[in-house]
Amino acid sequence: MEYRDLEKVRLIIEAATGLEIAYAYDDLVFPDYTAFIMQFDDSKSTHFFCHFHEDCNEKETLFKELSNACKQQKCTLTLKGDFKLAQKNEAVELQFI
């Protein structure tokens, strides 16, 4: 398993969007407002995946900004797809589309 550099992802998200990290779980990083999710690529520590919330209207702009911030950190980013969140009693279910 690769080392997951959460600080690098924090810097990328902050540089691209000005947002802070709200939550990190396993290989997923959720910034404030959850318009997108960054995912670690365990096969390559300098590569990340990006998923956008299904209702996000700024996907193209955000992806461009995130990609540019990744380049500054000598990383790459791949658009992976969309996701949605659903409330299940007291838990939140994440579903990739």
pLDDT tens string 64-86:
999 999 999 999 999 999 999 99
Grade residue 2 by pLDDT with cuts at 50, 70 and 90. Answer: low
CA–CA separation, 17 vs 14, rounded Å? 5
User: What region, left, alpha or beta, does residue 10 occupy, with left being phi > 0 and alpha being psi -120 to 50 degrees?
Assistant: alpha
Question: Which domains, ranges and CATH numbers included, belong to the chain?
Answer: 6-96 (3.30.300)
- List residues bridging with 38 in a β-sheet: 29, 50
**Phi/psi of residue 49, nearest 5 degrees:** -110, 155
Q: Residues, the chain, total?
A: 97
Q: Looking at residue 3, what is its pLDDT? A: 76
* SS3 state of residue 69: helix
Number of H helices, E strands in the chain: 2, 6
CA dist 87 and 40 (Å) reads: 25
